[in-house]
Structure 1
Amino acid sequence: MMAMKILLAVALLCFTHIIAGFTTTKIGPRPLWRATFTDELRQNLLLNYDKFARPAQHFNVTTVQFGVAIRHIDFNELKSTLTVHAWMKLSWNDDKLKWNASDYGNLEVLHLADHEIWQPDLFVYNGAPSTAINHYGNAHALVYSNGHILLVPPVQIVVLCEMNLRYWPFDTQTCNLIFGSWTYNGLQVDLELYENKTVLDNEMLINNSEWKLLRSELQRNVKKYECCTELYPDVTVTLELARISPSYQAIIITPAFAIIFLILMSFWLPPNAGEKIILQSCTAIIITMFLLYFTQKLPAMGTHTPLVVLFFSTSLYVVCFSLMGSIAVIWISRTRHSYGLPWALKQPLIGCLGKWLFLGNYISQSKLNHRVTSEEMRDNQAADAEENNTNDDHQMIGSGSQAPMQQDWVMFAAAIDRLSFIGYSFLFAILAITYSL
């Protein structure tokens, strides 16, 4: 019996020694480094940290200071969207991320990734895509020992902007970017302007080749929605942009003056010149090409039609009416009329009205033809008495009396051209004043 006890004791001792040998065996080399103060601090802060819980008591307010610095802007007129590249600046206090710096080697600042800590759920209320603030990479936040957090992520924001292209291409557009918390009301998350700055910092702005930033402001608003009794604060960023339009002056404004010049100069061509139709037809084609260019360049808008588009469309109507007038003038001047110009129309034309319309050449030509025709008629009558050839005489007399009659109608057609020039000049002046205001 005693021997059995001794054997059991020896066996238990051996088993214990074997187990102790296994527990003291080391697997792999021992690390050459030891945990730093940063490692220990991260483990102590984030071990049981819940990044989805607001870092304050439910009855306390987390105040978020909001700031932004614009880097670049880009306008998409066809989609009515504004793309803003900027650097956001957010800061708040996190009571769960505090530590005593002396316990960690006087470590005052800790760098933590944005996905490791709680962040305010800021959304762009008027954003084109239904997403929150999207930054290019995982920006790290600076966490201070007193719980203060500073996060400066680069962002790309696309917002919807109501455009007014009435004064295109000399227009200015005003767009708003509205930021606010999506789920927290003002009693939970409050927004304040960073350092109370109401003007954006644009020192790092990269200029756009088409748009110039005239004004950039920040404004804090508090709104109450019908769905809820609480107040919801937001920050509105207002951007006023002016189109850089010197290139459009050469592309659009200069051709507009050229079109006016072509239309008006067609009235100074001879009344019977067929080139009038060719010139005005080419002008109509040019205007149509510009209207097609506008359809490709500008979005289809039910309201606020650009004045320059209205000008070109009105000019197309004008050139069509002037083309019809030119056809009438050519018909009057080329048709062989069987009767003379009525005296009620001829008398003013050979008087003061003709001088004011610069018809002196046509008036002198008409008088010269009348004098030559009278002499020819007397000569023809003398020749008729001598040769007794009355049939030929009547034919010559008819042909001789037709020339001054036709010249009177040419003078009348030229007068129509001059009056049309004056009328269309006043019309274009009115259009220029109307579409430039």
Structure 2
Amino acid sequence: MFMTKICIFITITIVVISIFSNYLKVMVSSEWCMKSSKQAHSRLKDDVLCDYDLEIRPKLNHTVATVISVKMILKSFSFDMHSHYLSLNAWATFFWADDHLQWDPEDYDGIKSTTFPVESLWIPDISHYNRYEQDGNHEIISNVNCYVVYNGKVACVSPGKYDTLCTADLKYYPYDRQTCSFVIGSWMYSGEEVDLQFFNDPINMEELTQNPEWKLINVTYTRNSGEDSCCPNSTFPSLIYTFVIERRGEFFEATAVIPALGLILMTLLILTLEAKESERITLIVCDIISHIIYLHYISWNVPSFGDNVPKIILFGRDSLVIVFFVLMITVILRNITKSPETSPNWANDYISKALESRLGHMVLVLDFTMKNIAKIKREEDGENIVDNVQRNVEKDCNLFAKFVDRLCVVLISFTYLLLIILFLL
């Protein structure tokens, strides 16, 4: 019984001490709020922040959403195609109304505006949704002072660097365009509590510093209402800035496009040499080495992954296959010209038919005189017929090799033309 009384006494004592302690805290807080400062700015901040709760959304009527207007002042940008992200250096500007930050300017020497650190105010938890790195502080507004007007209007300008995920599409390298999105929204509040809207002028690019490698083509902005079947009674709106940038191709024309055209020309010029000449083999080997160096250079500058394989790499690959084809044809024709056998009869028939036209003369012979043509057709000046039994085997083989070479020039030229058209499409 005695122990029970002691326990009751101790409990009552603890409760009384707790109540008295809370009373003292309230009294001290009230005395601090009532304390007046000689300077108007200090009095203003003391009075406004006296009972201000930065955890409570700044609306007297909690059923009314706080409208946040957003504007971006873009300063510079860059794109890393190897790491796949767009970097934006910008001033993110936010405007809203805080019903708890209002005062009468006449009570404070006519002060109509002042600044408050963000640590002292309620700040919307606006976050960068598609950040390149998701760790760390995801909130955009931090470590700045906000501008507050006597009627409760608040403006916060948060400068920062925003790295946004953007997978590179290098299909048309070096004439590629990239489309990247910068998405922001509230992290915790629903659209019924914090309503995100664009400012009258959603983006300002008057102070934009141009990028030496990329050109900004267009910027669009859209608002996503954030409706989802999972939450029929709530919305989670977000604001999306879409940037379209285009690579400045002048430098890459000199280092990627012009060398590719040079490789095409080299391959076609090789076919103007006769297959039996050793210089032709030497040039083909040089052409193969040049293609390999070219492909290595392109692959060094272009990432090995992305949405699409660059067309210029496919072009270099196909051109290398063509050079190997030329090498194979050269080896075959060299063996034919050195063979003691005559060229195939079907080949002679096609050559004879080709020589019956002027175009065939231009393709197969370099000397367009009637005497030379007559010799090739086994005639002498149109008067004496050459003995068909005694044929010049060496001349027949050389003519057949020339016919194949000219045919390859036409086919390879058409193939390269097709590859160029596919590259441009």
TM-score w.r.t. structure 1 length?
Answer: 0.79
Q: Residue 416 in 1 paired to residue 404 in 2?
A: yes
Alignment partners' CA distance in 2, 1:179 and 1:281 = 56
Alignment partners' CA distance in 2, 1:79 and 1:340 = 59
Which residue does 1:212 correspond to in 2?
215
* Corresponding residue SS for 2:225: strand
- Name the CA shift for 1:133/1:277 in 2 (closer, same or farther; >3 Å): farther
Alignment partners' CA distance in 2, 1:339 and 1:96 = 104
Q: Residue 167 in 1 paired to residue 172 in 2?
A: yes
Which residue does 1:357 correspond to in 2?
363
* Corresponding residue SS for 1:355: helix
Q: Residue 102 in 1 paired to residue 90 in 2?
A: no
Which residue does 2:225 correspond to in 1?
222
Unaligned runs of 5+ in 1: 1-33, 373-400
Alignment partners' CA distance in 1, 2:210 and 2:298 = 26
Q: Residue 158 in 1 paired to residue 163 in 2?
A: yes
| Counterpart code for 1:424 | I
* Corresponding residue SS for 2:226: strand
Which residue does 2:149 correspond to in 1?
144
Which residue does 2:18 correspond to in 1?
none
Pick from 237, 242, 246 the counterpart of residue 241 of structure 2: 237
Alignment partners' CA distance in 2, 1:424 and 1:167 = 23
Q: Cα RMSD over matched residues?
A: 2.6
Contact 1:166 1:305 in 2 (8 A): yes
| Counterpart code for 2:365 | L
Which residue does 1:293 correspond to in 2?
297
Q: Residue 43 in 1 paired to residue 31 in 2?
A: no
- Name the CA shift for 1:364/1:271 in 2 (closer, same or farther; >3 Å): farther
- Name the CA shift for 1:271/1:46 in 2 (closer, same or farther; >3 Å): same
Alignment partners' CA distance in 1, 2:243 and 2:344 = 67
TM-score w.r.t. structure 2 length?
Answer: 0.81
Report how far residue 188 of structure 1 moved. Answer: 0.5
Alignment partners' CA distance in 2, 1:349 and 1:407 = 16
Contact 1:169 1:245 in 2 (8 A): yes
Unaligned runs of 5+ in 2: 1-36, 381-389
Contact 2:287 2:323 in 1 (8 A): yes
- Name the CA shift for 1:277/1:133 in 2 (closer, same or farther; >3 Å): farther
Contact 1:133 1:155 in 2 (8 A): no
Alignment partners' CA distance in 2, 1:365 and 1:76 = 63
Which residue does 2:89 correspond to in 1?
85
Report how far residue 427 of structure 1 moved. Answer: 0.9
| Counterpart code for 1:415 | F
Alignment partners' CA distance in 1, 2:188 and 2:143 = 23
- Name the CA shift for 1:38/1:302 in 2 (closer, same or farther; >3 Å): closer
* Corresponding residue SS for 1:408: helix
How many matched pairs?
Answer: 371
Alignment partners' CA distance in 1, 2:63 and 2:329 = 82
Report how far residue 41 of structure 1 moved. Answer: 1.4
Alignment partners' CA distance in 2, 1:139 and 1:349 = 84
Contact 2:217 2:245 in 1 (8 A): yes
Task: Find the structure with the greater CA-based Rg.
Answer: 1
Alignment partners' CA distance in 2, 1:216 and 1:271 = 57
Report how far residue 142 of structure 1 moved. Answer: 0.7
Pick from 101, 121, 126 the counterpart of residue 117 of structure 1: 121
User: Percent identical across equivalent pairs?
Assistant: 27
Q: Residue 75 in 1 paired to residue 93 in 2?
A: no
| Counterpart code for 2:208 | L
Alignment partners' CA distance in 2, 1:302 and 1:201 = 31
* Corresponding residue SS for 1:322: helix
Report how far residue 293 of structure 1 moved. Answer: 1.9
Q: Residue 429 in 1 paired to residue 413 in 2?
A: no
Which residue does 2:333 correspond to in 1?
329
Cα deviation digits, residues 84-134 of structure 1 (max 9, x gap): 011111111112211111111111111111222111101111111224245
Cα deviation digits, residues 34-75 of structure 1 (max 9, x gap): 741111112222233332322224322111111111111110
* Corresponding residue SS for 2:155: strand
Report how far residue 223 of structure 1 moved. Answer: 1.4
| Counterpart code for 1:101 | P
Report how far residue 186 of structure 1 moved. Answer: 1.0
Cα deviation digits, residues 194-213 of structure 1 (max 9, x gap): 12x35x21101000001111
* Corresponding residue SS for 1:435: helix
- Name the CA shift for 1:409/1:354 in 2 (closer, same or farther; >3 Å): farther
* Corresponding residue SS for 2:181: strand
